[in-house]
Amino acid sequence: MNAKRDYRGVDLFRIAAAFLVVAIHTSPLATYSETADFILTREIARVAVPFFFMTTGFFVLGSRGRTRSFLKKTALLYAAALLLYLPVNVYAGHLDGLTLPELFTQLVFEGTFYHLWYLPAALLGTALASLLLEKLAIRPALAIAAALYLVGLMGDSYYGLVSGLPVLGAAYDALISVCGHTRNGLFFAPVFLLLGCLLRKNRPGRAASTAGLALSALLLIAEGMLLRHLRLQLHDSMYISLPAVMYFLFSLLSGIRGRCPAWAADFSMLVYLLHPAMIIAVRGAARPLGLWGILVENSLGHYLAVCAASALASAALLPLLGRLRPVRASRRSRAWLELDGAALRHNYRALSSLLPPGGRLMCVLKSDAYGLGAEGAVAALSAEGASLWAVATAEEGKLLRKYGARGTILVLGRTPVSDIGLLRRFRLTQTVVSLEYARELSAARRRLEVQIKLDTGMHRLGISWQDLDSIDAVFSLPFLRVTGMYTHLAASESLSPRDADFTREQSERFFAVANALRQRGRDVGMLHTQSSYGLLNYPDMRCDCARPGIALCGVRSSAGDSTAQWPALRPVLSLRARISEVREVPAGEGVGYDLAFVTGRTTRLAAVPIGYADGIFRSAGGACGLVNGLAAPVAGRICMDQLLLDVTGCGEVHPGDTVTFIGRDGAGEISAEELAARCGTITNELLSRLGRRLPRIWVSEEDGE
């Protein structure tokens, strides 16, 4: 998911949450009512830090790249915060006589200053939540995080229930001596991080969220007041009802869409970090100014003064923060790919509907997911429960595993025995293409899961379907565990009688082998014959799974392909670029390399910074781009990094305007099949050759269906 999507509700609440944290540390209602202040600062304001954790889970978790970036940035921020408050800690004597175990507690759990605990908690909690998501699906991971939260609960608001018990009380005292508090990155943060991740994929409706928030908020207030009355609290950050409050609150906030000022996130972070320093500053300035009674003794005045000082200091530092941030080119400054995660998830569900009961999809993500970008594809498909994957090489399988793919990853190509360590380390299932190759793998004496490829007529890879003894021999080899068999249909793209007969013959050959092996007592495991067109044209009820690749992208291989069924698949990919220059050329002028295009009239030409290095073939004769929703033909040769469009008939056109080469623009649309035909190829080749320098920008992650 693109972390810079337009989530106005989330971004605005960041600022509110920062000032709620200020309230926790200044008790604004204490002068007027101790009970009212408790409800505000120890109950209502307790949503602030969980909200920050849920924001991280919502935007970061599920992507290794985003998680690594977040951990790096947060570690740097933590280091800067430690330095910022070091003079205060030294002056106050907080570091005097600190032992190594105490220093460990301060750095890993407490943050050395009372509000900085959030940063090590964010680091530890995000690392733990990410690890859980790598090993488990979201709901089992959330169950483990909830169990950790319950453990922490007994060291926080419910400490009075366990403190008097001989063994349990001693255990919690020992735990607290190490952690300081149980509201930390181990017990507190993971459940909220994972709830945020869950809400990115499944959000309840507005009415249900509103009712749920109202009920859970009442329960939170009642719970806190009861615990206060019974004097059970050691601390008061963790309540049984708090996760429910946060789930429904964040659901409502993430449903409020629209643009928010870009500075909102940085401003809230600065307020959070700086407000303790502003508390010190307000107290230091109040007495010389003769305002001690208003700015310090009056709790509300103190709160408002600290908020104002924190806001002013944060606003003053925003420009400096912007200059410190690394300068990068906009991902949409030249040319880019837009990937619709909602369309990919829709296609997964639509293709799954074609399978028999119990059937599953094996998502083929060769060549960086057919150009979509494997990392984003894994995140979107995993959200639908995908756990079967296929790739061309072991290196591709390694990347899928690093991107968070769980379950089976089948390597369709032959992996050299010298790379068997790669198969083992990343738990990849290797295809066996011959008995000799299977023996080489077995001789390496490393346990592997394998699937047997049968050649039923395509004559590319696999053991001949007629060589039953060789196929059977693979099952007997030590160190290899056969988990399935498959074949590839050579002519499933066609519905002609000749090709249909051959496809059915291939299928019959395959299942005849499977039945013969069963008669010999072999467990043949998972059986699959269909790739995209096999599933669309020749559904076979005997298969355990199907292997769609190009169909997941929502396109056909060729524009003229007809299929027996097409379950309203939606294109996932759009290719766009930005015009860099517009000029008017008189009639009769040659344009571009070899002067291959000659203007027949006064012509307006737009230079676009995209070319064959980005995947628009040099041979793409007659190709067009959409400008203002209108077709603009390519003028002259396509270069490595540039091409020219004739935009004479496209209305007002200016540098910076967007050109669409694949996708929709207003009433106009260019399909991947159409551009592939102009390039003299199929969409499979076109998409897989889209240049690596094109940023992959995932949009529309939520279905809205």
> Which are the catalytic amino acids?
366, 593
Looking up tokens 């027996």 gives 564
Reference 624, options 595, 661, 598; nearest CA is 661
* Residue 580 to residue 555: CA distance in whole angstroms: 30
Q: Is 627 left (phi over 0), alpha (psi -120 to 50) or beta?
A: beta
Instruction: Report the half-sphere exposure of 567 (CA within 13 A, side-chain side).
Output: 19
Instruction: Report the half-sphere exposure of 476 (CA within 13 A, side-chain side).
Output: 9
- The bridge status of strand 630-633 relative to strand 624-627 is antiparallel
* Residue 136 to residue 489: CA distance in whole angstroms: 34
Q: In what helix (H) or strand (E) does residue 165 lie, and over which residues does it extend?
A: none
* Residue 660 to residue 628: CA distance in whole angstroms: 9
Which structure tokens are listed for 319? 């420009």
Residues ≥6 apart with Cβ < 8 Å to 417: 440, 441, 443, 444
Q: In what helix (H) or strand (E) does residue 451 lie, and over which residues does it extend?
A: strand 448-455
* Residue 26 to residue 284: CA distance in whole angstroms: 15
Which structure tokens are listed for 672? 């991947």
Residues ≥6 apart with Cβ < 8 Å to 462: 433, 434, 452, 453, 454, 455, 456, 487, 488
- Residue pair 623/632 in contact by the 8 Å Cβ criterion: no
Which structure tokens are listed for 136? 């488990």
End-to-end CA distance of the chain: 18
Q: What are phi and psi of 636, to 5 degrees?
A: 85, -165
Reference 610, options 582, 648, 576; nearest CA is 576
Q: What are phi and psi of 355, to 5 degrees?
A: -85, 155
Residue 302, SS3 per DSSP: helix
Q: What are phi and psi of 634, to 5 degrees?
A: -65, 135
- Residue pair 687/560 in contact by the 8 Å Cβ criterion: no
- Residue pair 339/372 in contact by the 8 Å Cβ criterion: yes
Q: Compute how many other C-beta atoms are within 10 angstroms of the C-beta atom of residue 586.
A: 9
Which structure tokens are listed for 540? 């076979």
* Residue 332 to residue 338: CA distance in whole angstroms: 10
- Residue pair 598/590 in contact by the 8 Å Cβ criterion: yes
Which structure tokens are listed for 98? 């600190």
Give per-residue burial for 300-323: e unless 16+ CB within 10 Å, then b: bbbbbbbbebbbebbeebeeeeee
Strand partners, 180: none
* Residue 127 to residue 578: CA distance in whole angstroms: 38
